């Protein structure tokens, strides 16, 4: 694993958001497994909800893609892949909602595969949470940052 100095600050910041998000979403999805088919059906029933949901998911993915350009090290690769997969998911929701939800329904029907995948994604979320928030990976203190470096002291 990389040392704290070699993990990019942007990677760490995205890991602070994406890690807990993955852990919480996966935990709730597993806890509410019996409701998922109904939630998918209700979501697909309203095409405007699907389109706007896809638009926001696409935007979130594009933000990660635009602001996180590092592919060095496991945390950076995971964050970048999350950005790309999120953008593709948003595009699929907007452009191919029927196909996307057919896949989602068949995925939920394959219970052991679905649960194993969600557990794996939850573990990835725990790893990113550790990378972002872990005490052994503290962000270095920035001295003399550009935004305050030219400000003089009051005399």
pLDDT at 93: 94
Residues 6+ positions from 24 with CB-CB distance below 8 Å? 125
The pTM score is: 0.79
pLDDT at 140: 54
pLDDT at 101: 87
pLDDT at 136: 54
pLDDT at 42: 85
The owner of tokens 């945390």 is 75
pLDDT at 151: 45
Helices (H), 2-145: 9-31, 36-45, 47-67, 74-95, 97-109, 111-133
Using 70 as the pLDDT threshold, list the residues of the chain that sit under it: 1-6, 135-155
CB-CB contact of 64 with 14 (8 Å) = yes
Q: How many residues does the chain have?
A: 155
pLDDT at 64: 97
Sign of CA dihedral 15, 20, 22, 23: positive
pLDDT at 68: 96
Task: Give the start-to-end residue ranges of the domains of the chain.
Answer: 7-134
Q: At what angle do helices 47-67 and 74-95 cross, to 10 degrees?
A: 150
pLDDT at 143: 46
The Cα 96–Cα 92 span in angstroms is 5
Buried b (16+ CB within 10 A) or exposed e, 1-38: eeeeeebbeebbebbbebbbebbeebeebeeeeeebee
Max intra-chain CA distance, the chain: 71
């Amino acid at each position: 694993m990389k040392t704290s100095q070699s993990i990019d600050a942007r990677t760490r910041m995205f890991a602070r958001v994406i890690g807990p998000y993955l852990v919480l979403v996966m935990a709730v999805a597993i806890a509410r497994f019996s409701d998922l088919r109904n939630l998918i059906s209700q979501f697909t029933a309203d095409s405007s909800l699907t389109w706007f949901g896809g638009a926001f998911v696409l935007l979130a993915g594009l933000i990660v893609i635009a602001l996180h350009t590092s592919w060095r090290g496991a945390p950076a690769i995971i964050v970048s892949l999350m950005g790309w997969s999120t953008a593709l998911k948003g595009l699929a929701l907007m452009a191919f909602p029927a196909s996307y939800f057919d896949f989602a329904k068949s995925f939920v029907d394959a219970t052991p595969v679905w649960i194993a995948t969600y557990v794996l994604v939850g573990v990835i979320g725990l790893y990113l949470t550790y990378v972002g928030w872990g005490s052994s990976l503290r962000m270095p203190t920035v001295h003399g940052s550009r935004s305050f470096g030219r400000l003089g002291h009051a005399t």
